[in-house]
Amino acid sequence: MNLKKSLLATLSLIVPLTAVSQSSASASDTLRLSREQCVAIALQDNPTIKVADLEVKRVDYSKKEVIANLFPSIDFSAAYQRSIELQTLSMNMGGEATKIKMGSDNMWNMGFSASMPLINASLWKSIKISDTQILANLESARASRLDMVNNVNQAYYSLLLAIASRDVIKKNYEIAKINADVYRKQFEQGTASEYDVLRSSVQVTNIEPELLQADISVRQCQLQLKVLMGMDSAVEVMPDITLKQMQSDMFGYTTALNRSLAGNTSLRSLDIQTDMARQNVTLKKFAWIPTLAVTYNMNWNALSNGNPFKNQDFNPYSTVGLALQVPIFSGGSKYFGVKQAEVQLKEMEFQRENLVNSLNMQVELAIDNINRQVKQIAASEEGMRQAAKAYEIMQKSFEIGAATYLNLRDSELANTSAQLSYLQSIYNYLVSTSELDLLLGRDGTASSTVSLR
């Protein structure tokens, strides 16, 4: 019960729990989740997503740092100088050279200085570029989320396939045990040879490693899914649906599919980078525009001899002014900087054209692959029914002595292979649709409620 309460408290921080009740927890403490719920948990608690969200926040602070340059900057400074040897002024007065010591032993200077830009086109453009950089980081965070959704989908489907395959192997194992038991009883009654008993027993032994490997595969898939969700490995996570049950909802995927590349994260990121490159060209050109700033200074100074901390008489003085800076010549660096930015912009335009062609080809190939897998599922399902029927016939023939154990075993292997092929075809279809969703920039998630079953 403590484990259940801790799990509920953890999930309340991860996803909205609108329908969780005490009766929803099973006695085995197994958390049964849908694919949508696993995705929701991963998007809330996975460290990769947290890093992407923090990066967006970092760039937002960077923009505020640029905006801060528009406000006045105020500094305080203080300086003290001690004269070791005073300056000497030599004067010729009436034919005699006279030397006069000038200066003071101590000199204090302190005050405030303030400045604020009035005209600075480069600074204004930098703020606009900061806005675009925020969009770039938002798109990067969106790309991380889409990758996470695809990874969770594939991990969830892999777990479904591992569980379904284990069930098939386990059923085959139970049948092999029954056949071995039948031969053992027949041998005891003298109607079967010892060779038949040994061969059926060996068959049971041969299936045991496969069953063990199937259990390991299920465990590995569970761990992979929990790592993506950021959950503790001690929590038992299982799907709330079987692989075969998902078949009823998956057909017709490509019929109503919007093939637009508007959501593709690579294309969106490239468009944002192209916009930044275009703004960078303008920023380089703004380097020729003069800048104007207003300045203000308020200072106090004091001059004295002897002890630097006694008899100090600070006298204030202040100034206000305008500072104009007009760029005239810089060896052509500004000109070549503009040309470099223009070349980079042209490169991105060609990159976009190539990327669009590549993405369109990938979408077409993905859709063709999904359509082929739909046909493969239908063929595998029909093959599974035929193999099951053939095995049923062979089982009855074996029971009446019309078929050998070798014939029965061949039928069992064909039936098992057909079932695994059918499950694999469903898995391939689901993974392909998830990858196509990633390519088109669709997350494939829906709002859902986490529940304990």
**CA angle, corner 405, sides to 402 and 407, nearest 5?**
75
Q: Taking a C-beta distance cutoff of 8 angstroms, is the pair 122, 1 a contact? A: no
For 75-106, the pLDDT digits (tens) are 999 999 888 887 777 777 666 777 777 778 88
Is a pLDDT exceeding 60 seen at residue 452? no
Instruction: Judge whether 367 lies within some domain.
Output: yes
Instruction: Judge whether 92 lies within some domain.
Output: no
Instruction: Judge whether 301 lies within some domain.
Output: no
Tokens of 289: 């525009």
Instruction: Judge whether 108 lies within some domain.
Output: no
CA–CA separation, 291 vs 119, rounded Å? Answer: 5
Instruction: Judge whether 176 lies within some domain.
Output: yes
Is a pLDDT exceeding 70 seen at residue 1? no
**Nearest-10 crossing angle of helices 121-189, 405-440:** 170
State the Cα torsion 242-247-248-250 to the nearest 10°.
120
Domain that holds residue 257: 2-17+25-45+120-289+328-440
CA-wise closest residue to 33 among 448, 432, 435: 448
* pLDDT of 448: 32
* pLDDT of 93: 66
Section 410-436 average pLDDT? 90
Indicate the helix (H) or strand (E) that contains 166: helix 121-189
Confidence of residue 5 (pLDDT cuts 50, 70, 90): very low
CA–CA separation, 58 vs 61, rounded Å? Answer: 5
For 225-264, the pLDDT digits (tens) are 999 988 887 888 899 888 888 876 665 565 556 788 888 9
For 159-171, the pLDDT digits (tens) are 999 999 999 999 8
Counting the structural domains of the chain, the total is: 1
Q: Taking a C-beta distance cutoff of 8 angstroms, is the pair 139, 268 a contact? A: yes
CA-wise closest residue to 232 among 11, 48, 51, 453: 11
For 259-302, the pLDDT digits (tens) are 888 889 999 999 999 999 999 999 888 888 899 999 999 999 98
Residue 142: CB partners within 8 Å, gap ≥ 6?
265, 268, 441
CA–CA separation, 156 vs 36, rounded Å? Answer: 10
Instruction: Judge whether 323 lies within some domain.
Output: no
Is a pLDDT exceeding 80 seen at residue 186? no
pLDDT > 90 fraction of the chain, expressed in percent and rounded: 33
Confidence of residue 449 (pLDDT cuts 50, 70, 90): very low
* pLDDT of 293: 92
DSSP-assigned letter for residue 259? -
CA torsion sign, 166 to 167 to 171 to 177?
A: positive
Tokens of 140: 């990067």
Instruction: Judge whether 413 lies within some domain.
Output: yes
CA-wise closest residue to 221 among 167, 144, 146, 161: 161
CA–CA separation, 236 vs 230, rounded Å? Answer: 13
For 296-347, the pLDDT digits (tens) are 999 999 888 888 788 788 889 999 999 998 988 888 888 898 999 999 999 9
Tokens of 21: 């009740």
Residue 270, domain CATH: 1.20.1600.10
Using DSSP bridges, classify how beta strands 73-82 and 106-119 pair: parallel, antiparallel or unpaired. antiparallel
CA distances to 12, 21, 22 from 18, rounded to whole Å, are: 10, 9, 13
pTM of the model: 0.74
CA–CA separation, 216 vs 153, rounded Å? Answer: 20
Indicate the helix (H) or strand (E) that contains 280: helix 265-285
Determine the 3-state secondary structure of 97 from DSSP.
Answer: strand
Instruction: Judge whether 174 lies within some domain.
Output: yes
DSSP of 188-248, one letter per residue? Answer: HHTSS-HHHHHHHHHHHHHHHHHHHHHHHHHHHHHHHHHHHHT--TTSEEEESS-TTGGGG
Phi, psi of 308 (to 5 degrees): -75, -10
Is a pLDDT exceeding 70 seen at residue 421? yes
425 or 9, which is more confident?
Answer: 425
